[in-house]
Amino acid sequence: MLVVFSKDVSQEEIAGVERRIAECGGDVRLVQADDRVVMVVSGGDTGAMEFVSKLPYVERRVLMEKPYKLVSKALHGKVRTVEVAGHEIGGRFFHVCAGPCSVETREQLLYTAERVSESGATFLRGGAYKPRSSPYSFQGLGKEGLDLLAEARRITGLGIITEVLSEEDVDQVAAVADVLQIGARNALNYALLRRAAGTGKAILLKRGMCSRVEEWLLAAEYIAIQGNERIILCERGIRTFETGTRSTLDLSAVALAKRETHLPVFVDPSHAAGRTDLIGDLSRAALAVGADGLLVEVHRYPERALSDSGQQLSPEMFDDLMSSLEPFTQAAGRILERRSSSDLAGGGHSGWSG
């Protein structure tokens, strides 16, 4: 049960409800949702519910069967948008976030950033800390990569999405990123989720490679329960027996998550397919199924990439992809959000040439 208090409820009144519910065996957590205090009640007998239903300073009660509560669409009764870097994510807007798998060099990053920006991307994605299956693989530039991302933002005006892998790095990454990405390998790393949530930054939460939709939404609940509702879900393919693609993109999960939560849902077709030739088709399908945005890997020279070279688009291919999305955004009644020229520090072309 969710108990939404009216705006003018007092601390004493809330404390009284808390005591009473505890007496009925219920467990209580308080969360600030917009301008209201919401009490999330787990367990407890019917006495608690009856008691609450009669209080004048309770605006409404929401009974919920599903185990997730704060990310449930029932909490606000509608989808919500997340504001990041001057953009609204979700709702009518469709965002494309693009960039290299890994930040490799200044030249590579800035060139790619400019190109994806010109093609209409609103966010730059790129990993400074890379989770790699092998400890012998390139692990990312770390702090140096973060600095390059910050520079790319200054020059292009793009928002920055980058992954954080360790609790220890959270503050450092949060100092640069507009959106903290939690990758598939850490999708159920609740300690990291809590630390990232605590920064107040928007969190892009990828679905784990074998997470059920319910588990994914519960992982988001771990973030929301810290008081941070700025969550963007991201489907990136699940593990199945199919070997023709790297993972199996589960667009039903996107449709399901959109029905169950008020959160925006993105799709990462690059990691799902693991091959460039399917990315256009999957991106259009993601848009049609109701996703709110894409995470697409783009590299100046895909074949030279230090990680995931087989799945990164060239800037030209990315530009074609963006053009091909236009008619589908219209069919879907969505607005393909683009970085406006006024986002640029100096306006117009940035003058940087890689």
**Which positions from 51 through 80 interact with a copy of itself, judged by CB under 8 A?**
67-69
Per the document, the length of the chain is: 354
- Interaction of residue 14 with a copy of itself, rule CB under 8 A: no
Neighbours of 283 (CB within 10 A): 23
Residues 6 or more apart whose CB falls under 8 angstroms from that of 136 comprise none
Q: How far is the CB of 108 from a copy of itself (least distance, A)?
A: 20
What is the smallest separation between the CB atom of 341 and a copy of itself, expressed in angstroms? Answer: 27
Q: Is 331 in the site for a copy of itself (CB under 8 A)?
A: yes
Could you say whether residue 49 binds a copy of itself (CB under 8 A)? no
DSSP bridge partners of 127: 102
Q: Rule CB under 8 A: choose which of 4, 9, 31, 40 binds a copy of itself.
A: 40
CA–CA gap between residue 185 and residue 183 (Å, rounded) = 6
Alpha carbon separation from 57 to 6, 31, 159, 162, 309 (Å, rounded):
5, 16, 41, 42, 58
Smallest gap from Cβ 197 to a copy of itself, in A, equals 11
- For residues 111 and 118, the answer to whether their CB atoms sit within 8 Å is no
Q: Report the residue number, 330 or 340, with the smaller CB distance to a copy of itself.
A: 330
Q: Is residue 250 within the footprint of a copy of itself (CB under 8 A)? A: yes
Q: Of 63 and 241, which CB lies nearer to a copy of itself in the complex structure? A: 241
Which of residues 246 and 300 has its CB atom nearest to a copy of itself in the complex?
Answer: 246
Size of the site for a copy of itself (CB under 8 A): 72
Question: What type of residue sits at position 14?
Answer: I
- Angle formed at CA 232 by CA 226 and CA 235, multiple of 5 degrees: 125
Any contact of residue 323 with a copy of itself (CB under 8 A)?
no
DSSP letters, 152-169, are HHHHH--EEEEE---GGG
List 214, 304, 316, 341, residue binding a copy of itself (CB under 8 A): 214
Single residue of 24, 79, 150, 209 touching a copy of itself by CB under 8 A: 209
State yes or no: residue 249 binds a copy of itself (CB under 8 A). Answer: yes
Cα–Cα distance, 234 to 60 (Å, whole number): 31
Residues 6+ apart with CB under 8 A from 176: 146, 147, 149, 150, 153, 160, 162
Residue with tokens 């404390």: 15
Q: Which of 347, 321, 324, 345 is nearest to 116 (CA)?
A: 321
Using the contact rule CB under 8 A, the part of the chain among 83-91, 99-107, 315-323, 325-333 near a copy of itself is 325-333
User: Binding to a copy of itself (CB under 8 A): which residues in 115-174?
Assistant: 131, 133-136, 165-169
Residue 178 near residue 343 (C-beta atoms within 8 A) = no
Nearer to a copy of itself, 97 or 238 (CB): 238
Determine which residue in the list 102, 117, 186, 270 makes contact with a copy of itself, applying CB under 8 A.
186
Is residue 191 at the binding interface for a copy of itself, with CB under 8 A as the rule?
Answer: yes
Considering only residues 272 through 291, tell me which ones interact with a copy of itself, judged by CB under 8 A: 272-273, 277-278, 281-282, 284-290
Instruction: Kindly tell me which of 154 and 239 has the beta carbon lying closer to a copy of itself.
Output: 239
Q: Which amino acid, one-letter code, is at 145? A: G
